[in-house]
Structure 1
Amino acid sequence: MKMICMAVMLFITLLSAGAQKNIPASDIKTAMMKATRFMVEKVSNRGGYLWNYSPDFSRCWGELEAKPSMIWIEAGTPAMGNVFLNAYQLTGESYYLKAAQAAADALIWGQHPSGGWPYMLDFSGEISLKQWYSKVQKGYIHCAQEHAHYYGNCTYDDAATYDSGMFLLRMYLLTLDPKYKYPVERCLDFVLESQYPIGGWPQRYPLRYEYVKGDKEDYTSFITINDGVHTNNINFLLACYTLLGETRALEPLQRAMTCVLALQGGKPQAGWAMQHKLDLNYSPGHARDFEPAGYAATATAEMCRNLMRFYRWTGDTKYLARIPDAFEFLESIRYSDAQMKQLGKSVKPGQILCPTFVEVGTNRPLYLHNDPDHYWVDYDYHGLITHYSSTRAIDLQSLKDEYQHLLSLSKEEATKDSPFIGQTDISGTLLSHLMRGKVQQADTQKVDSLLTILKKKDYLPGRLPSVSKENPGFSDAPLPSEVISIKEYMNGMSTFIQYLTK
């Protein structure tokens, strides 16, 4: 009898646990709409968004503190637009589509005459934006160097132009409204015009050479790999060619792929830099004060991954030929276990730890330091800056596994899903891949926690990132302990959407 009672209790427990996993879809959709209405009707500025807002809206921030008249492009308005579209395509609620259209309209308003986008827009105009830059120059010391000078042009950095162009492309493919196709075509014009003959792109365009610091020239004209610039532009050209039938994108795409081969260093430094100069050897170039000229582990790993993609697209073994040289380079600069212990670092299985930068010609690690007045680089690993890491973990084993897998395939097998020579239509899969956002784990506990928050609040709260906490003098008021966060909104919506999809 005792055993029967225990079995019944266990059954009831399991039944209750199973019931907890069935959160009504109606509850989730209600919470999604509540949070979205708040963002659209209380937070949005003409369809656009910054990153964070104080709960009383007395202050607001993008990457740095901003004016209420501003919206942020980088990790801001296009990202919000994509979340709205995800919600619309899941639920069919027209409110989400209208919110996405408003975000698209804000981006169209702010598209630069050349066809790209800057980091942020100011609806009060250029004079207001210049005043903001002047305030930043006086108030911020570290972490804001990309915002320390008003260029008046566009940036590929942090996917500002890529995210905008891809979101508008998605809007066009969903609605077939030509008002969204025109800015995509202008963006394509921008990408084609700004491409160097070798196939790479500058960080900013139209080109400027005016922000010279000491003996360092303006780095924004250098061929840029950092922050996904080269990879993103390849993806955009591929999307335009495959999804819009823009054949003019094909030859520039091929040049961009070949450029990756041309920029690889010779042994024993068969890697890539974050920036490459436009000199005879396309040698590594500096960027911000804490980004010295040197070969970079992350850029090398990214380009290895790209070369394997290019092989899958073309079946041309030239893209595989020098990947082993790059692996050898990464192995040569990896830290030993003893060195990692000295640095207080560890890595996951399959990863190696490498310096972020190694010196050209020697492979010596370069370490980054600062004081209140300036940055410097040397070989001493003590007293490093904290806002930018001097070391990086690299998933070398996964790169090697993928490389060996490709070698085991026939050319036909490797290229079966190629957008150029494959036998199947992969346009839908391609768009989904290129538009993918950060996937949030959709476990019941997380969903339940979000629902609890939204029963008490109209928004999902967050905290200011460290760089935003530097006060450039916009206000003397204390910084809020909690902010209205578009990042938390987007993460929460992603969790809800994934849960409902499953």
Structure 2
Amino acid sequence: MFRQAVTWKTILDQPAGWYKTAEAQKIAQNVLLYQHVNGGWEKNLDMLKPPKTPPKETTIDNGATTTQIEFLARVGTPEFQAAALKAIDYLLGAQYPNGGWPQFWPLKKGYYTHITFNDDAMTRALTVLRDVAQNKPVYTFVDAGRRQKCAAAVTKGIACILKCQVVIKGKKTAWCAQHDEVTFAPAKARAYELPSLSGSESVHILRFLMGDKPTPQLTEAIEGGVAWLKVNQLTGIRIEKKNGDAFVVPDPAAPPLWARFYDLETGKPFFCGRDGIKKNSMAEIEKERRTGYSWYTNRGNQLLKDDYPAWKNHVKPKPS
């Protein structure tokens, strides 16, 4: 495998042998210094460098905690395995009784308490726990008791995902980036992140669900989500960045895109600046938000082209 430059963003993209090197162990020592006493980590920190301040709040947002668990497990010495176990316990402790995860734990006031699919936070946590439960090679150091707890957490997490899937006119559709932790309804986060159907987070949710043992309920959820993606793909446009700005331009040859947000009532894409007012086009919001947020995504292409057909073939009943 071709080795990428080692940065914290590419820490999980290195060849398997690299994780046994002195360089990886040195970075892992830094990761331990960043670990909070509760087992979790902060987000948006470059852990290739030693910390300058003690760890504060802990989260699963932006890959925090889940990335560290997988990295430490790959490095794999007893010291780092022990830290990974502590972090797995953090994930288990952060899960709501209803199966969801908040963005921060211990809880932080505000929208952070919502069940958080945003930036794939909850599905990343579930993926780690499922890998542990299935005794994947990198997690063979995890004891049977923890594996059982992880399996139970995944079962609860999937049940929560299914409860959150938005049903419109009797049809299962997609998910919001965050859902109310009590009612499971789509919920607001930041001023420009209104209750909606997500063309981005829904893709990773579907991919996660496709990795589990199919049941009639799970199959119905996946088929509903995939059907929604097919209907709501946007063709003939691409995003062009020029002179520090971002524009939507016509391009008949461009692959499909999806909007980040779709209106729950009209089903149409919408865009929102810091004023919290829905707009019909990206051009109508302020430049700072046009360039500082991902309003379109192409994530659905691989799911529809590769993942869904492979899953469909796997679950298709074999001829007798």
**TM-score bucket (shorter structure):** 0.7 to 0.9
Letter in 2 for 1:251: A
1:136-162 CA-to-partner distances (Å, cap 9, x unmatched) read xxxxxxxxxxxxxxxx31121121211
1:329 aligns with 2:228: yes
> 2:217 pairs with 311, 318, 325, which one?
318
Matched with 1:188 is 88
Q: What aligned pairs does 1:4-83 form with structure 2 within 5 A after superposition?
A: 75=9, 79=11, 83=14
Q: Quote the residue 1:197 is aligned against.
A: 97
TM-aligned CA deviation for residue 329 of structure 1: 2.5
Describe the superposition over 1:3-27 as per-residue Cα deviations: whole angstroms up to 9, x where unpaired.
xxxxxxxxxxxxxxxxxxxxxxxxx
Q: Work out the CA distance in 2 between the residues paired with 1:334 and 1:306.
A: 20
Residue 234 (structure 1) aligned with residue 137 (structure 2): no
Measure, in 2, the Cα distance between the counterparts of 1:102 and 1:378. Answer: 48
Deviation at 1:111, TM superposition (A): 0.8
Alignment match of 2:18 (pick from 87, 90, 115)? 87
The one-letter amino acid of 1:107's match is V
1:272 equivalent in alignment to 2:175: yes
Tell me the equivalent position of 1:443.
none
**2:72, 2:80 within 8 Å by CA — same for their partners in 1?**
yes
Q: Decide whether aligned partners of structure 1 residues 304 and 125 sit closer, same or farther in structure 2, where only a CA change above 3 A counts.
A: closer
The 3 A distance-change label for structure 1 pair 200 and 171 is: same
Q: Percent identity?
A: 20
TM-score (structure 2 length as normaliser): 0.77
Residue 405 (1) aligns with residue 313 (2): yes
The alpha-carbon deviation at position 403 of structure 1 amounts to 4.6
Among candidates 275, 283, 294, match of residue 389 of structure 1: 294
State the one-letter code of the partner of 2:196.
G
Distance of 2:217 and 2:118 partners within structure 1: 23
Could you tell me how far 1:355 is from its partner in structure 2?
2.0
Per the alignment, residue 446 of structure 1 pairs with none
Contact 2:199 2:261 in 1 (8 A): yes
Post-superposition Cα deviations, 1:87-109, rounded to whole Å, max 9, x if no partner, equal: 366xxxxxxx2222121111112
Q: Is residue 161 from structure 1 mapped to residue 62 from structure 2 by the alignment?
A: no
Q: Which has the higher contact order (CA 8 A, sep 6+)?
A: 1
Structure 1, unaligned runs of 5 or more: 1-27, 40-50, 52-73, 90-96, 130-151, 210-217, 412-502
Q: Does 1:289 align with 2:191?
A: yes
Residues 222 and 285, structure 1, Cα contact 8 Å, conserved in 2 = yes
Matching residue within 153, 165, 168 for 1:252: 153
Contact 1:366 1:377 in 2 (8 A): no
**CA distance, structure 2, for counterparts of residue 317 and residue 410 of structure 1:** 16
| Secondary structure, counterpart of 1:344 in structure 2 | strand
User: Cα offset for 1:292?
Assistant: 2.2
Q: Does 1:354 align with 2:278?
A: no
* Cα deviation, residue 193, structure 1: 0.5
Distance 1:348 1:292, change over 3 A: farther
User: 1:380, 1:109 → 2: CA distance?
Assistant: 46
Query: In structure 2, do the counterparts of structure 1 residues 297 and 110 end up closer, same or farther at CA, with 3 Å as the change threshold?
Result: same
Pairs aligned (count): 289
Alignment partner of 1:307 is 2:307: no
Residue aligning to 1:363? 267
- Go from structure 1 to structure 2 and tell me whether the alpha carbon gap of 1:111 and 1:397 turns closer, same or farther (over 3 Å shift): closer
- Change beyond 3 A, Cα 1:345–1:169: farther
Whole-angstrom CA distance in 1 between matches of 2:174 and 2:117: 12
Say if 1:114 and 1:206, in contact at 8 Å, map to a contact too. no
Alignment partners' CA distance in 2, 1:336 and 1:98: 48
2:270, 2:97 → 1: CA distance?
31
CA 1:178–1:354 in 2, change beyond 3 Å: closer, same or farther? closer
AA matched with 2:27: A
Question: Structure 2: any 5+ residue segments left out of the alignment?
Answer: 240-246
Largest Rg, 1 or 2:
1
Counterpart amino acid of residue 295 in structure 2: S
**Contact 1:272/1:300 (<8 A) preserved:** yes
Instruction: Tell me how far apart the structure 2 counterparts of residues 347 and 307 of structure 1 sit (CA, whole Å).
Output: 32
Q: Counterpart of 1:71?
A: none
For the 8 Å contact 1:117–1:160, the answer to whether it is kept is yes
What amino acid maps onto 2:93 in structure 1? E
Q: Give TM-score, length-normalised by structure 1.
A: 0.51
